[in-house]
Structure 1
Amino acid sequence: MDTESLVEVLEAAGLSPYQADAYVTLLDLGAASATNVADASDVPGPRIYDVLESLEDRGYVETFEQAALQVRAHSPSKVLEDLRGKATRLERAAEEVEKRWDQPELAAGDASIVTRFRTVITRAKSFIAEANHQILLSATVENLERLRPAIEDAADRGVSVRVSVHTDDDRTALDVDRFAECCTEIRHRPLPAPFVALADRRRACFAHPPDSYDRYGVLVNDRTHTYVFYWYFLTCLWEPWEQIHRPDDGYPIEYFDVRHLVRDLREIDWRENPVRLRVEGYHTDTGEACQIEGLVTDIRVPFETEATNGFELSGQVTVDLDIDGEHMSIGGWGAIVEDVEGTRLTVIG
C-alpha cells in the first residue's frame, strides 16, 4: 500500500487528515523533531504541535525533550487495536446490510420478492421453527437435508410434516427411512419442481427450480396468498404422485385436508362403520382455536362420482359431527359456512 492510500485508510478509521499525515510521516522518519515532521508532511508549522499532542492523547505517538521537542511513533499495538476493532465493526455492518437486503422482514400481510435461493431456504427454516400445526414441503433430497434439523425439531413438537420429494427422474434412489421418523407422509415426484414450504396455512416460501429461466423467490406472510400456494402444492406437487411413506399402524390416521378425509370415509363406508374424529382448528365465527371430538354423522360433497380424478378436490366439502348430542360442521382451509375450519383431522377409531 502506498503512502497516500495508507493516509486515506487512517482517515477512514477516524484520524483527521493532519493526524493521519503526521503519523505516517513519523512511521517513515522514526524519531524526529516537531519541525522536521512539519517539513516532511503537509501539516502547517503552526498546527504541528496541536496535531502531535492529539496523537499522543490517542496513544499513537510519544514526545520527549532534547534540544528541541522530539516525537516518535509509539508501539503500534494501540493503532492496530483501533484499526482491527473498526474493521470488525465494518465487517459486521456489511453482513447486516447484506442480511437486511437479502432477508426483508415480513410483517403480517406482507409478500416479498428475493433474488437468492439462500434467502428462501433460510426463511423456510425460520417458518418451520415457528410452526405449531402443519408443514408442507416440496424439495429435493439435498434441500431436505439442509432443513432436516428444523424438521426434526418440528416433529418433536407434534407438528405434522408432509413432504413431496422431487427428483430429476424415477431412477433416483430415495432413502425413505432417513426421513420417515420426522415426516408424517412422503410422496415422490420424479420430475423437477419448485421449492415450496408452507407453515400453518399462513406462511409460504417459493423458489423456481435451479435450471429455470426465472430465478427468484417469493416469501409470504399472508393467509390469502399462502392459500394460492397451497392449491398449487396440492394439485401439482402432492395429489398426483406416489405415496412412498405413511405410517400403517392402524388408528389414529391423520389428514391435513378435509377432502382426503372424505375420500377415505367414502371408501370405508362410514355409515356402516362409525368413525370417531378429532379435529384441531378454529371457530369460523370467532377465529379462536379449538379441539373437538365426535362421531361422523354426514359428509357433504359437490360431486356424485366415486372416481378420484382430482375434481373432487374443488368446491365445498363438509363433515358433520355429533359431539355429545350437539351438531358441528367441519370444513377445510378457508372454511366460511362451516362451524370449524379443521387444520388437523385425526380418525381415532
Structure 2
Amino acid sequence: MNPDELAATLEEAGLSPYQADAFVTLLERGSASATDVAQASSVPDPRIYDVLRGLEERGYVETYEQGSLQARARDPTEVLDDLRSRATRLEDAAEEIETRWTRPDIEDHAVSIVKRFDTVLTRANELIRSADHQIQIGLTPPQFDALEDALVAAREAGADVKLCLFPETAAEPSLPAAERLAEACTEARYRRIPAPFVALVDRSWTCFAPNRHSANEYGVLVNDRTHAYVFYWYFSTCLWDVYEPVYSARDDELPTTYVDIREALRRIESLLEEGRRIEATVEGFETDTGLETTASGTVTDVDYTGRSSGDGGAVPITQFAGKAAFALERDGRTRTVGGWGAIVEDVEAVRITLESAT
C-alpha cells in the first residue's frame, strides 16, 4: 500500500485529510518538527499545530518541545487496536446489511417477497421447529436433507407432517431411506415432475419459492390463514391427493388421528356406510368464541358439498372442496365439526381422533 492509499484508508477510519497526511509523514520520518511535517505534507503551515494536537488527542502521535514543537508517532498498539475494532464493526455492519437485505422484518406483514431462496429455506426451518400441530411440505431430496433435523424435531414434538418429494430436474432422484422418512414425517408421497417449494405450518404460515431452475429467484413468506388456505389447496390437489404413499405411519387400526377433516371424512363415511358406531375426540376451537375446546362423542352424520362415488373407492379430495363437516353427539347434545376456516360449524377441528368403530 503506497502512502496515498494509506492516507486515504486512514481518512475512512475517521481522520481528517490533513491528519492522515501528517500521520503518514511522521510514520516515514519517525519524528520531526512541526515545520518539517508541514513542508513534507499537504498541511498548510498555519494549520500544522492544530492538526498535530488533534492527532495527539486521538493517541496517534505525541508532541514535545525541543527548541520548537516536535512530534513523533506513538507506539502503534492503541492505533492498531482502534483500527482493528473499526474493521470488526464494519464487518459486522456488512453482515447485518446483508441479513436485512435478504430477510426483511416480516412480523408485521401478512405477505413478504424476498430475493433469495436461502431466505425461504431458513425461515421454513425456524417455523417447522416451532410447529404445534401440523406441517404440509413439498420439496426436493436435497431440500429434505437441509430441513431433516427440523422435521424430526417437529415430529418428536407431536406435529403431523405430510411430505411430498419431487425431483429438482426431470432426472429421477434418490429418495431418502424409509428409516429417515419414519423419523421426519407421518406420511410421504412422491411426485415425478418438478414443482415449487412450499411449506405450510399450523394453518398460518406459508413459505413458497419457485423451482430452483426458474428464470427468476424469489420467495414468498405468508403469515395469514386465508392466504395459507389457498396454498393448502395447491398442496392437496397438486402434490398430495393424486400420488401414492412411499411411506406412511398410518394403518387401518383405530385409534388414529387426522389433522385434515377431509381425510377424516373419507374414513368416517366408509365406516358409517358399514353401519359402524364411531367414537371420536376432537381438539380445536369454538367458532363463536375462539376458545380452545375438546369434544368427544359419537359421530352421527357427515355433510359435504360433493358426492360419494358409491363404488367403495376413496372419495377425491375435490369432492370436499366446499362444505366439509360431521356431527358429534354426546348426552343428547349434537355439535357440528368443521375444518380449517370453519364458520357455520360449532367447532373448528385441529385434531380429530377416531377412537373406535364397533
* Partner in structure 1 of residue 214 of structure 2: 212
Q: Which amino acid aligns with 2:309?
A: T
Aligned to 1:186: 188
TM-aligned CA distance change 1:24 to 1:78, over 3 Å: same
Note if 1:311 corresponds to 2:313.
no
SS for the counterpart of 1:348 is strand
* Maintained 8 Å contact 1:334/1:341: yes
Aligned to 1:262: 265
- Residue 240 of structure 1 corresponds to which residue in structure 2? 242
User: Normalised by the size of structure 2, how large is the TM-score?
Assistant: 0.91
What is the RMSD computed on CA atoms of the aligned residues? 2.0
TM-score (norm 1): 0.93
The 5 Å alignment of 1:273-288 reads 273-288=276-291
The superposition leaves residues 274-325 of structure 1 with CA deviations (integer Å, 9 ceiling, x where unpaired) of 2222222221112222222222111112214235344313111111111343
The answer to which of 268-277 and 239-248 deviates more is 268-277
Q: In structure 1, what is the equivalent of residue 177 of structure 2?
A: 175
Instruction: Tell me the distance in 1 between the aligned counterparts of 2:261 and 2:213.
Output: 35
Match for residue 10 of structure 1?
10
C-alpha separation between the residues in 2 aligned to 1:112 and 1:259? 30
The answer to whether the 8 A contact 1:19-1:51 is kept is yes
Correspondences of 1:1-349 after superposition (within 5 Å): 1-108=1-108, 110-167=110-167, 168=170, 172-248=174-250, 250-269=253-272, 272-302=275-305, 303-306=307-310, 307=313, 308-349=315-356
Q: Deviations over 1:139-162 (max 9, x none)?
A: 112111211222222222222222
Per-residue CA deviation, residues 64-84 of structure 1 (Å, 9 max, x unaligned), is 343433222112222221111
Greater CA drift, 291-300 or 103-112: 103-112
Closer, same or farther: CA 246–270 of 1 in aligned 2, 3 Å: farther
How many residues align structurally?
349
Secondary structure of the equivalent of 2:245?
Answer: strand
Q: Which stretch of the first structure deviates more once superposed, 71-80 or 234-243?
A: 71-80
- Letter of the 1:340 partner, please give it: V
Task: Return closer, same or farther for 1:73/1:206 CA change in 2, 3 Å cut-off.
Answer: same
Unpaired stretches in structure 2, ≥5 consecutive residues: none
Counterpart residue identity of residue 42, structure 1: S
Change over 3 Å in CA distance of 1:89–1:109 after alignment to 2: closer
Residue 215 of structure 2 aligns to a residue whose secondary structure is: coil
How far apart are the structure 2 equivalents of 1:170 and 1:320?
Answer: 45
Whole-angstrom distance in 1 between the partners of 2:308 and 2:154: 38
- Residue 11 of structure 1 aligns to a residue in which SS? helix
The amino acid across from 2:68 in the alignment is A
Task: Give the C-alpha shift of residue 99 in structure 1.
Answer: 1.3
SS of the aligned residue for 1:335 comes to coil
Contact 1:259 1:312 in 2 (8 A): no
Name the CA shift for 1:345/1:170 in 2 (closer, same or farther; >3 Å): farther
CA distance in 2, matches of 1:233, 1:248: 20
Query: Given that residues 165 and 187 in structure 1 are in contact (C-alpha distance below 8 angstroms), is that contact kept between their aligned partners in structure 2?
Result: yes
SS of match in other structure, 1:78:
helix
Which segment drifts farther, 238-247 or 269-278? 269-278
Q: Which amino acid is the alignment partner of residue 286 of structure 1?
A: T
Q: Using a 3 Å threshold, how does the CA distance of structure 1 residues 108 and 54 change in structure 2: closer, same or farther?
A: closer
Opposite residue 88 of structure 1, the aligned amino acid is: T
Equivalent AA in structure 1 for residue 261 of structure 2: V
In 2, are the aligned partners of 1:108 and 1:222 still within 8 Å (CA)? no
Q: What SS does structure 1 have at the residue aligned with 2:289?
A: coil
User: Secondary structure of 1:201's partner?
Assistant: coil
Please state how far the C-alpha of 1:212 moved relative to its aligned partner: 2.0
Query: How big is the shift at 1:178?
Result: 0.9
Contact 1:279 1:293 in 2 (8 A): yes
